[in-house]
Amino acid sequence: MFKIGEFSKFTKVSTRMLRHYDEVGLFKPVKTDAFTGYRYYTADQIPQLVKIIMFRDVGFNIAEIARLIKMENNEAILGELKRKKTQIQENIYNETKIITDIDRIISTLGKEFFIMDYHVELKEIPSVKVVSTRAILENYSKEIDLWAMLGEFAQKNQLQPDGPPFAIYHDGEHKENNVDIEVAMPVAKLQENKTDIIFREVESVPCMATVLYKGRYENIDNAFFFLANWIEKSEYEPYGKVRQVSIKGAWNEPDPDNYLVEIQMPVKK
């Protein structure tokens, strides 16, 4: 057996960390002297400690590690690793977005805020047959997952779009999470529903205030600001569900600066 200091040298884990793991019940010595309090370890314990360090270094906390090292099924461990990977990817996305927002603030600091000039057009939107999927998503960035599902379904079933695809935002307000989004692709005719991806007819809207936005999705807010100003100064008031019609997107336009989206806001006098 090895005293804690000797074991620390072999494993390259500090005595402070070994004591901590003992105190929280994650990794205990094989023996603790009742009189001196000295901790003793064996070489047979090294593989388990290596596992603990491996999981710690990829972001698992103590409770998660305690659960992982008890798992005997590699499939279960694989599932936990994939979950952690997805969590880290989401964190990277969120942190990258924050960096982008900081850069935008830096670039505009000291400059007067202005809203670009757009053209508002009032339209009657007829009902349309679509194939669509709808879900409560963690946040708006997850909308891309719905588009991927819908695209895969359309390709598998050899469905051709009968117009530009669009998203419907069913929440009555902007939400930070648990957002209700439906993505839809117009089709020539409806078919029998056999999966969560359904065929349905989207209702007509007598009057939509619409704005065409060109550019990257992350800069679309200015178009919404302009539309809000226009509605406030007009004789109309907003109601109902906002739609975003994707005229040009990742599937048919390689340059994000050339994406083209029509924002549609139902209005009434």
Which pLDDT tens digit goes with each residue over 230-240? 999 999 999 99
- At 111 the pLDDT is 56
Q: How much is the pLDDT for 103?
A: 85
Torsion of CA 227, 231, 234, 240, to 10 degrees: 130
pLDDT reported for residue 161 = 93
| 168's tokens | 């419907």
CATH topology agreement for domains 2-70 and 120-268: no
Q: What is the pLDDT of residue 251?
A: 81
d(Cα 154, Cα 195) in Å, to the nearest integer?
A: 13
The reported pTM is: 0.62
Q: What per-residue confidence (pLDDT) applies to 183?
A: 97
pLDDT tens sequence across 153-206: 999 999 999 999 999 999 988 787 899 999 999 999 999 998 889 999 999 999
> Where do the domains of the chain lie?
2-70, 120-268
Q: In Å, how far are 143, 176, 183, 265 from 138, measured between CA atoms?
A: 9, 8, 15, 23
| Structure confidence at residue 213 (pLDDT) | 94
Dist. CA 160–CA 109, nearest whole Å: 46
pLDDT at residue 115, as a whole number: 55
User: In CATH, what number does 120-268 get?
Assistant: 3.20.80.10
Ranges of the chain with pLDDT below 70: 108, 110-116
Q: Tell me: the pLDDT tens digits for 61-72?
A: 999 999 999 998
Residue 50 contacts by C-beta under 8 Å, 6 or more apart in sequence?
11
Q: Which fold has domain 2-70?
A: Multidrug-efflux Transporter Regulator; Chain: A; Domain 2 (1.10.1660)
